[in-house]
Structure 1
């Protein structure tokens, strides 16, 4: 019988995907890896400041990371220590589904998990929206930052009929002045609760258009939450437009 691989995850959504698919595989994860709630592993600080020495001390067979969430110098340090590092690149839904299958296979999953098929089916089953909306999607405040080009979250929203007005910006996460956002030609502002925790009292007041407060986990995480994401995000968008 082959030994269960020892895996450290530096990405919250990948942590959840591995934990529910190949239980017992993870030995380390970041402090931001909050799902599943019962996950009991060594914590190795954050995605941007992992404790490299502690990760090395765990002697994992594999470290899973993401080119956007994790810093290249940290990944280089892990490789220099002789660790195998798998780096994902996810810019849209099809890419997420492919990369998830690659990660899970590398972590010892014997087959494609049912939740991954359910996620693909949920998004494939969407009806064409009756109306397309132009939106700004802030992800931070002080300074204001929005989704720009080639983002996973932007692709999900586009599939739900919400077009990012900054999708053609040169930067993936442009920093904008508040006045520019306030006067943008948009129908809707989409405000997730992570990484910045936008609330009814923090963010919507800037915009003269409706603001949809959405689950950041369902908008930005690529993992089991993808199966319910169309339903959860769609409900939040509809509520904002009532």
Structure 2
């Protein structure tokens, strides 16, 4: 089986489970760190000719991260494309199982069982915290409705204030974000790399949690440690 992945999360999942199956991945596929495959461009602008030149048996993609015209072009050239949809933690487990099976995994990998068990064992939060979760800065954008990261946070006791917004990633002026006075501002390091220098300074007087985007937004092997790592970062910021 020759697989090209257009999604960093899925790249890591396949590489860990089926070493050697991947022949191509995006420039943003940073895990595993030693992944040695042909790079085919970004998630939003893959070089479809380069993908086709790799003669993959399967291209794996995601409805949010990848553009329909690119996937249609690959299908039109006769390539099979599997498109995932991941907006909740349980859905992530189902889709990962589907992807790995399609890629030729003979059985469900141990890391997937461990990740599912870690989330199933998560205790009910003793209290709820409100938050805003910026994902971009110029312009300011935040988590809105129906997102995987929003579901991750909700399971950890964090309710982001734009969860009912009509848009999934609404643009919200900084003044409005500040005026909302959340209990916490959650600042991931991707897709925009918020740092201690350009994140908390925008929200004076509000506790800010700098979290790894791989734990907040990726669905793959990192799911096993995500509850523990994220909970620790959130607790540290909201003491």
TM-score by structure 1 length?
Answer: 0.97
Q: CA offset at residue 130 of structure 1?
A: 1.5
Q: CA offset at residue 206 of structure 1?
A: 2.2
Q: Which runs of 5+ in 1 are unaligned?
A: none
Q: Which residue of the other structure, out of 18, 35, 40, is the alignment partner of 1:39?
A: 35
Instruction: Name the SS for the 2:52 alignment partner.
Output: helix
Q: Which residue of the other structure, out of 192, 195, 200, is the alignment partner of 1:199?
A: 195
How many Å separate the matches in 2 of 1:76 and 1:185? 44
Q: CA offset at residue 201 of structure 1?
A: 1.0
Alignment of 1:180-195 (within 5 A): 180-195=176-191
Q: Partner residue of 1:9?
A: 5
Q: CA RMSD in A?
A: 0.7
1:64 pairs with 2:46: no
How many Å separate the matches in 2 of 1:38 and 1:187? 39
Instruction: Name the SS for the 2:79 alignment partner.
Output: coil
1:50 pairs with 2:72: no
**What is the CA deviation profile of residues 149-182 of structure 1, one whole-angstrom value per residue up to 9, with x for unaligned ones?**
0000000000000001100000000001111111
Q: CA offset at residue 203 of structure 1?
A: 1.6
Q: CA offset at residue 198 of structure 1?
A: 0.5
- Comparing 202-211 and 19-28, the one that deviates more: 202-211
Structure 1 runs, 4 residues or longer, greater than 4 Å off:
none
Q: Partner residue of 1:111?
A: 107
Q: Tell me the number of residue pairs that the alignment of Structure 1 and Structure 2 aligns.
A: 238
Q: Partner residue of 1:135?
A: 131
Instruction: Name the SS for the 2:90 alignment partner.
Output: helix
Q: Partner residue of 1:86?
A: 82
Q: Partner residue of 1:236?
A: 233
Q: CA offset at residue 185 of structure 1?
A: 3.5
1:227 pairs with 2:224: yes
Instruction: Name the SS for the 1:175 alignment partner.
Output: coil
How many Å separate the matches in 1 of 2:201 and 2:34? 37
Instruction: Name the SS for the 1:49 alignment partner.
Output: coil
Q: Partner residue of 1:76?
A: 72
Q: CA offset at residue 55 of structure 1?
A: 0.4
**What is the CA deviation profile of residues 33-78 of structure 1, one whole-angstrom value per residue up to 9, with x for unaligned ones?**
0100111100001000000000011110000000000000000000
1:211 pairs with 2:208: yes
How many Å separate the matches in 1 of 2:155 and 2:123? 9
Q: CA offset at residue 191 of structure 1?
A: 0.3
